[in-house]
Amino acid sequence: MTTTGTYEVRTLGCQMNVHDSERIAGLLEASGYQPASETDSPDVIVFNTCAVRENADNKLYGLLSQLVPAKRKNPRLQIAVGGCLAQKDRGEIIANAPNVDVVFGTHNIDALPVLLERARIEDEAQIEILESLDVFPSTLPARRDSAAIAWVSVSVGCNNTCTFCIVPALRGREKDRRPADILNEIRVLVDQGVVEVTLLGQNVNAYGVEFGDRYAFADLLRACGKISGLERVRFTSPHPRDFTDHVIAAMAETENVMPQLHMPLQSGSDRILQAMRRSYRRDKYMGIIERVHAAMPDAAITTDIIVGFPGETEEDFMQTMDIVEQARFMNAYTFQYSKRPGTPAAVMPDQVPAEVVQERYERLIALGNDVSWQENKNFVGQTVEVLVATGEGRKDEATGRVSGRARDYRLVHVSKTDTNGTLQNVRPGDVVTAVVTHAAPHHLIADQLLSVRPTTAGDMYEAGQRPITEGTAKPKTSGLITLGPVS
């Protein structure tokens, strides 16, 4: 199947969705589509959706309603909705937004080009929702925005039963890739110029559960350390229940593993953690943080926190505040509890009033910002190594800086002018060293540029090349398509 036209993918949600969107773009280009320019109207718009929070639904339907005039103006325009919200709402999406042409689920993104073709030929909306994984996403072609940085899935799905989370119902049970497949993909990426990979999974440190190897994730980290040319390795998101000393040792002893850890807390109250069915308590969580810092004193730790879970009292909330103060998080991604239909928490008694949740949320944000700022101030005067990235600094052009991440994943804005006053050619993908001159709660400024190390990824950016990785999965054809249940 070969098609001509342009496309645009709009990603709503987590890192898993970002990775899936790269696969969607790769599939479309393998089918003959080209990326739409910023000034042209695309022939296909794909929404890759999230369903974790209620405002995700509202955001999607708002965006779809905004496209009604565009659809009237250009009848050739096709709109597709995929991802977790598509898996959840299924046929309701077309009922609520008749301008949608294709709905596809989390387990069958490989079907998108065929569904678009079929919708166009039959002039009728197409829906395909599978209940289990059809093709592992990492075997599909990918079109990445960055030549230097890549996501690599180690697993999909989740075996946990957190009472607030709808993800296991939408992504399915955990399915692990074999280590050799993961390492081969990383080697191919490094050969293409990638210097940093993020190992990705819904519960990444449970990796190996499917084939019964409890040391699999620690061994995978160590194996990444032996790949020549791979300078940085990180992973997201782990679960405290499965986080072991073997992983801590592998992080500390593997040179290219970044001294950064994202460890979701969700609540500092044991009572609320039990209600969330999180299978760890605050003492275990803090014990992990302490052991990480003992092995890697400079490790930066980020977390996720939910405010206003059903039954949360002021005392419960203050226990969360206490952990934020103790743990000294580099960043705490804080969310107001959102009731998701189909989860046990949605029908729990003692739902916390919205105004109480908002007030607690504001207090926690203020504390988190204060802690982050205090920690960042310690970096003023220090030299940092920064991998320059695209899309990190919104004000870079106006300030004469480039932006990227330090080895501990702190966001750093770096001057392009060196200490001699000479403007340097610093490109996304290049690696720079600079001295930090200013600290803010969520970023550092380094206006003393010391050195620039050009990379293959920087060369690709300068040449206007967007990296593509060819997949190993055979593409679907219109004669093989099978429609699943629509509601």
Q: Mean pLDDT of all residues in the chain? A: 92
* 3-state class (DSSP) for residue 80: strand
Q: Which CATH number describes the domain made up of 5-134?
A: 3.40.50.12160
Mean pLDDT of 289-312: 97
For range 121-142, the mean pLDDT: 87
Stated length of the chain: 487
pLDDT value of residue 282: 97
Q: Which two tokens stand for residue 210?
A: 């499917």
More confident of the two residues 437 and 76: 437
Region 400-409: what's the mean pLDDT? 96
CA distances from 259 to 113, 232, 251, 253, 330 (A): 40, 10, 7, 11, 12
Percent of the chain predicted with pLDDT > 90 = 76
pTM of the model: 0.89
H or E segment at 438?
A: strand 438-440
The sign of the CA dihedral 146, 150, 156, 159 is negative
Say whether pLDDT at 28 is over 60: yes
Q: For 338-360, write each residue's pLDDT tens digit.
A: 888 889 999 999 999 999 999 99
Query: pLDDT tens digit string along 351-391?
Result: 999 999 999 999 999 999 999 999 999 999 999 999 999 88
Domain locations in the chain as residue ranges: 5-134, 138-372, 383-462
Can you name the residues that pair with 305 across neighbouring β-strands?
Answer: 266, 334
Q: By the 8 A CB rule, do 36 and 42 touch?
A: yes
Among the listed residues 91, 123, 125, 90, the one whose alpha carbon sits nearest the alpha carbon of residue 107: 90
Angle at the Cα of 233 from the Cα atoms of 24 and 418, rounded to 5 degrees? 100
Could you write out the DSSP letters of every residue in 371-437? HHHHHHHTTTT-EEEEEE-SSS-TTHHHHTEEEEEETT--EEEEESBBTTSPBP---TT-EEEEE--
**Rounded distance between C-alpha atoms, residue 400 and residue 416, angstroms:** 6
For residue 475, pLDDT over 60 is answered with no
As a CATH number, domain 383-462 is: 2.40.50
Pick the CATH number of 138-372 from 3.40.50.150, 3.40.190.80, 3.50.50.60, 3.80.30.20: 3.80.30.20
Q: How confident is the model at residue 2 (pLDDT cuts 50, 70, 90)?
A: low
164 φψ region: left (φ > 0), alpha (ψ -120 to 50), beta (else): alpha
Q: Taking 60 as the threshold, does the pLDDT of residue 479 lie above it?
A: no
